[in-house]
Each structure stands twice: as structure tokens, then as C-alpha cells.
Structure 1
Amino acid sequence: MKKIVVHVREDGHEKIEAVLEGLHYTVSLVQDVYQITIYTPDENLDELIEKLQSVLDLRYNENMIEVSKPEFVISSLLKRAEKKVEEKEEKTPVEKLVDQVKGYSELDLEKLALTSIAGLVALSGLLLDNQTIIIGAMLLSPIMGPIYGFSVYAALGNIQNATRCLGVLAALLLGVFILSAIASFLINLIIPLTMTEEIATRLVLNPIYSLMAVFLGFAAALAFSKGTTEVIAGVAIAAAIIPPTVVSGLVLVLQPMSLITSGVLVAGQIVGLIAGALVAVVLMKIEPRAPQDKAAARRYRIGSIVTTVILFTLLLWITALMWM
């Protein structure tokens, strides 16, 4: 159940009430601004927001739409409304999705710190041949955010922020790679390092890994859009990227001839995750509300999908050749 409060100037409240015909709502007048309060099942929220935006002139500062979730509402009318939409699929409003990802196009110290710590913990697990430590490191990594942010911005045709998300992802992974290489070099000066089984398994190319990444990207993006926290939705994503990236830095010190193999594995995982996330946002029908923006967004979305498919196919082919 959602609570929607529409603030509208006196010259526009009749249009709002016309859109709400057949729904139960209350109207109050506060200092020449009408406040119209509507309660609606979650499944109707996206459709109702679209109708309200079509008649509400947001160029005026007084006009706004406020959406919140009350702890509970007791109403026989709302109970009947919920029964009517039990079979209707809930769609997350695009405004909420944009609000979720708005911080993922910016690189900050917190993201760098969490990803770096996750990389060092994963490095410890790899050197100790301890899978539990490796998995535990994934709880710290915010890698899912930029991937999900890119897929949402790509669907909306926001080229600038989509590119920034890729830049943040590249910076985080590059930081993990450099830090793991430096740490491995310093540790190796004191304690000679050897290739453990956990390291060796991440130097074996297999096309199944890339295909698995597609499913992980799809599942994580879908879960993220439904409000699942990043820590939970991103663990699988981090597990697919962080350890192979750490291994790339480690083999740069211990076994440089394996760097190409490790790099191909990391690239395949990244492109696979992005491909899965793009599939998720397409199936969720994420697009701008404004008709004039939909065509441009569709072109950019198709371009992103085609580019990702080409890269994924190429990496899958290279992986298959090196695996055979």
C-alpha cells in the first residue's frame, strides 16, 4: 500500500481530480495549495503516477508528487481495492529506480575503501586456500551498484550517467587489481608465496563461467529493483568479479604468463553481468515517461545491448578457444 500526496496550485486541482475519477481520495486547501491524498495498492502505483504526471505542470514550484509507505492502513475500501489487483504484476516506478541508482555514477572514498578491503580479505582467503574467507569478503564490496546503475541509465537513455557508472566500475576493479599486486609483491618479499588450489581454480577458463555471470547479473538486477539491499543482491556479483580480479593482480607477481588467461576470465564475468542486468531492465520495461524521451532512450538501449552482445560473444569465443 502506498500513500500519494499531490500538491497542486488552485488552477490545476480540477485536472488532478478528473484523473482520479473512480478512486477514493481526500482534498484539503493549505495556503492556496491543494493537497490531494490518495491511498493505492502497490500494483497500481506506477500507472497512477504516470496519469498524475500527465496533467500536473511540474514547472511550478508548488506542484509536486510525494509518495510514501504507511506502516498500515485500516480501510474496507482499500481492502477491496487490493483484492481487485491481486493478479496484477507490480511495477517499480521509474522515479524510484532513478533514486536508487543516483549515487552509483559517482566515485567516492567509501566505495574505494570497501572494495579495497574486500580485495585484501579475498587475497588472504586465496593465499590461505580458505573459501570461507573469500566468501566473507564479498559482503563488503559495493560492486553491484555501478553495474545496476549502468543498466538503468542505459534503459533511460542517460548516456552521461551510464558512462560514469562504467567509469566507477573500472576504477574500483583497477584499484583491487593494483592493490592485490602490490600486496602480493610485498608479502612475497617476506614469505615466499605459492599457488593454492583456490588460486588455480580461478585460472581455468570455462564458457560456463560467463554464462553463469549472465544469470547472476539478471537475478541481482531484478532483486535490486524490488528493494533488496545492495549487500544481499550484490554478494553473488562480487563473488563473480572480486576474486578473479584479485587473482589477476596476484599472478602478475607470481606467474605473469597466466595474466592473459586471468584477464579474459575477468572480462567475461564483467560483460556477462552487464548483459544479464540489461536483460532484466528490458524485461521490466524501464523507460522514460515523457514520450519525446522514449525514442532516444530506445536507440541508446538497443545500442548498449548490441555492443554488449558483440563483446560477450567475442569473449565467449576466445574463452572456448583457450579452454579447448
Structure 2
Amino acid sequence: MKKIVVHVRKDGHDKIEEALKDVHYTELLLQDVYEFTIFTPDEHLDDLIEKIQNALDLRYNENMIEVSTPEFVISSRLKRAVKSIEKKEEKTPVEKLLDSIRPYGELDLEKLALTSIAGLIALSGLLLNNPVIIIGAMLLSPIIGPIYGFSIYVALGMVRESLRCLGVLAALLLSVFALSAVATFLINLAIPLPLTTEITSRVVVNPIYTLMAVLLGFAAVLAFNRGTSEVIAGVAIAAAIIPPMAVMGIVLVIQPPSLIAAALLVGGQVVGLIVGALLAVAMLKVRPRSSRDRAIAQRYLKRSVALIVLLFALLLWITLIMAE
């Protein structure tokens, strides 16, 4: 259950009243501003906010919409109204999505530290040929954030913010690559390092890895949007990127000719995850509220999807050629 409080000037009263004609609400006049209070099931919040926002002129400071979650509400009329409402799938409001993904477009020391530590732990597991250690490293990496943020921003047509998320993703992956290369170089000076099974399995080019990444990106973003913990949902994405990125650093030092195959694997994984994330966001029907913004977002989304699919097809083609 959500509580919506709408403040509107007198000149906008009739429009709000018309927008709420099929909704149970209470109304108060506070000086020169009307206050409408509405209680609605979570499933209907997004549609109701859209109706109110279309009727409310937010250019005036007095006009505003406030949404909160009450502890409980006791009302026989509201209880009857809720029973009469047809149940539908709950949809997260755009405003809430934007608020939740804002940190993913910012690069900070904590993200770099967690990703770097995850990369070093994955490196240890790769060198020790220990898959348990590699899996443990995935619990630390915040890689899902920038990918999820990018897919949401693309769907909303927010170009600058989506590019910022890609920049954060690139910086995090490069930190893993650089640290893995430096650590491998230093360890190799003291102890000759062999190519373990866990390493060699990640320098074999196979298109199945790329297709698997699409499924992982789709499932992880869908689960994350449904309220699954970022750590749990992020394990799938981190498992697809962090170890191959660490392998790139390892083979750069130990076996440079394998660097191209390792880079292709990483590129295919990253593009596959983004394709899967965009598919999930499209299924969730994330879009701006205004028709003008929707048109802009649609154009940007189509161009972005076309470019990413082209890159995906190119990587898949190269992977197939090298796998033969």
C-alpha cells in the first residue's frame, strides 16, 4: 500500500479531480492550496502517478507529489476499494528507478577497491586452480551496478548518464586487468607460474560463452529489479567478467599470444551481458512518462540496440571463425 499526497493550486484543482475520478481520496483546502490524499496498492502506483503528473503543472512551486509507505491503514471503505481493484503486475515507478541507479554512474574508491579485491581473489583461484576461491571472489564485485544503470538510462533516453555508466564499467574492468597483470608479473619473478586448467579454459574461444552471457545479463537484471540483493544478482554477472578479465592480465605476462583470445572472450561477455540487460529492461517496459521524452528515448534505444547487436554479431562471428 502506498500513500500519495498531492498539493495543487486552485487553478489546477479541477484537472486533478478529473484524474482521480475513479480513485478513492480525501481532499483538504490549506490556505490557497488543495491537498489530495490517496491510498493505492503498489501495483497501481506507477499508472496513478502518471495520471496525476499529466494533470499537474509542476512549473509552480506549490504543486507537488509526495509518495510514502504507511505502516498500516485502517479504513473499511479503503478495504472495500482495495478488494474491488483488479490485481495487476507491480511496476517500479520511473522516479524510484532513477533514484536507485544514480550511484551506479559515479566512480568512487569503494567500488574500485571492491572490484580490485575481487579481481585479486579471482587471480589467486586461477593460479591455484581452485574454482571455490574464484566463486568466492564474485561476492565482492559491484559490476552489476553500471550494467543495470546503463540499461535503465538507455531505456529512458538519458545519453550522458548511460555513457557515464559505461565509463565506470570500463574503469572497474581495467583495474582488474591492470592489477592482475602487475600481480602476476611480481609473483612470476619469484615463482614460475604455469597455466592452470582454470586459466586455459578461459582462453578458448567459444560462442556459447557469449550466448550464456546474454542469459546471465537478462536473469541478473530481472532478478535485481524484482528486489533480489545486489550481491546475489551480481554474482552471475561478476562470474562472467571478473575471472576472464583476470586471465587477460595473467596471459599478458605468461603467454602473450593468448591475449587476443582472452580479450575476445571478455568482449563477448561484456556485450552479451549488456544485450541481456537491455532485453530485460525492454520486458519490464521501462520508459519516460511524457510522450515527447518517450519519442526521444525510443530513438536513442533503437540506435543503441542496433549498435550493440551489430557489435554482438561481429564478436560472435569472429568467435566462430577462431573456434573452427
Range into which the TM-score falls when normalised by the shorter chain? over 0.9
Aligned-pair CA distance for 1:165: 0.9
User: Is the CA contact (8 Å cut-off) linking 1:41 and 1:81 kept in structure 2?
Assistant: no
CA distance in 1, matches of 2:209, 2:79: 47
The equivalent residue for 1:318 is 318
Report the alpha carbon displacement of residue 103 of structure 1 after superposing the two structures with TM: 1.6
- The match for 2:62 is 62
1:213 aligns with 2:213: yes
Tell me, yes or no, if structure 1 residue 240 matches structure 2 residue 240. Answer: yes
Q: Which whole-Å CA distance do the structure 1 matches of 2:135 and 2:14 have between them?
A: 57
Give the Å deviation of 1:228.
2.5
Secondary structure of 1:103's partner? helix
Unaligned ranges ≥5, structure 1: none
Structure 1's 83 and 156: CA in aligned 2 closer, same or farther, altered over 3 A? same
Tell me which amino acid in the other structure corresponds to 1:138: M
Over the matched positions of the two proteins, sequence identity in percent amounts to 69
Query: How many residues align structurally?
Result: 324
| Stretch moving more, 279-288 or 109-118 | 279-288
- Describe how 1:164-179 pairs up with structure 2 within 5 A: 164-179=164-179
1:126 maps onto 2:101 in alignment: no
Instruction: Provide the rounded CA distance (Å) in 2 between the counterparts of 1:183 and 1:203.
Output: 19
Shift of 1:82: 4.2
Q: Deviations over 1:133-173 (max 9, x none)?
A: 11111111111111111111111111111111111111110
Residue 76 of structure 1: how far off its partner (Å):
4.1
Partners of 1:8 and 1:56 within 8 A in 2: yes
User: Displacement of 1:81 after TM fit?
Assistant: 4.2
Q: Deviations over 1:103-125 (max 9, x none)?
A: 21121111111111111111111
Cα distance, 1:296 vs. partner? 1.4
1:106 alignment partner AA = E
Partner SS state of residue 104, structure 1: helix
Partners of 1:214 and 1:185 in 2: CA distance: 33
SS, match of residue 299 in structure 2: helix
TM-score w.r.t. the length of structure 1 is 0.94
Unaligned runs of 5+ in 2: none
Question: 2:43–2:87: 8 Å Cα contact kept in structure 1?
Answer: no
Give the match for residue 268 of structure 1.
Answer: 268
Please provide the CA RMSD for this pair. 1.7
User: Residue 39 of structure 2: SS of its match in structure 1?
Assistant: strand
Please tell me the residue identity of whatever aligns with 2:118: A
Structure 2: which amino acid aligns with 1:196?
T
CA distance in 2, matches of 1:120, 1:76: 59
- Find the aligned partners of 1:255 and 1:163 in 2 and give their Cα distance: 33
Distance in 1 of aligned mates of 2:237 and 2:77: 43
Once residues 255 and 167 of structure 1 are traced to their aligned partners in structure 2, the CA distance between those partners, rounded to angstroms, is 28
Partner Cα distance (1:218, 1:76) in 2: 42
| Deviation string, structure 1 residues 76-116 (Cα, Å, up to 9, x no partner) | 44444444456422222111111121121121111111111
Q: SS state of the match for residue 102, structure 1?
A: helix
Aligned to 1:41: 41
Q: CA deviation at 1:29?
A: 4.2
**Which stretch shifts more, 235-244 or 21-30?**
21-30
How much does 1:14 deviate? 3.4
